[in-house]
Amino acid sequence: MKITNKLKEHGSFTFEKKGQLIISRAYDAWNKETAQSMCSECLKLAQSIKDKPWAILVDLTQWEFGTPDMWEPIEELNQWANKNNQKFEAVVCSLNIQQKLLEKSHEIFTEVNSQFFKTENDALQWLKSNGIE
């Protein structure tokens, strides 16, 4: 007897690109497959702007966390971004636990300045003050 369990993505995300800024919004609870898809799409967008300093705004206000194995692809993306001209990461989150989880994933950053905000407007203002619009 052969049993195959193929997980499907849980949760979703959207991306918007404005100049040298990528805006990412996460929704619902994620598994590793969703994280892998998100990272793949983000990498495609970042490839097109990595010739100059760029930033990402990550909105987690509608995100409900994820499985522990979802962090591996995110850490790989962060390693790539750190070496490919990402300079800023603005994270909007409503829960302190979200901030703690992301702070751990940001430990890889040596070239990226990351900050946490309660509103997207505050995050956008910080990015603007650093030359990213």
Give DSSP secondary structure letters for 58-82. Answer: EEEEEEEEE-GGGHHHHHHHHHHHH
Helix (H, G, I), strand (E, B) or coil at 48: coil
Q: What is the pLDDT of residue 3?
A: 44
Q: What is the side-by-side strand order in the sheet with 12-18?
A: 12-18, 21-30, 54-66, 86-92, 113-117
CB atoms within 10 A of CB 29: 14
CATH superfamily of 12-129: STAS domain (3.30.750.24)
Q: What is the pLDDT of residue 6?
A: 52
What element of type H or E holds 117? strand 113-117
Q: What is the pLDDT of residue 73?
A: 94
Q: What is the pLDDT of residue 7?
A: 54
Instruction: Report whether 34 contacts 69 (CB < 8 A).
Output: no
Q: What is the pLDDT of residue 1?
A: 43
Q: pLDDT tens track of the chain, all 133 residues?
A: 444 445 576 888 999 999 999 999 999 989 899 999 999 999 999 999 999 999 999 999 998 888 889 889 999 999 999 999 999 999 999 888 787 877 887 788 889 999 999 999 999 999 999 999 8
Cα 28 from chain centroid?
Answer: 15
Give the integer Cα–Cα distance in Å for 76 and 102: 14
Domain boundaries, the chain: 12-129
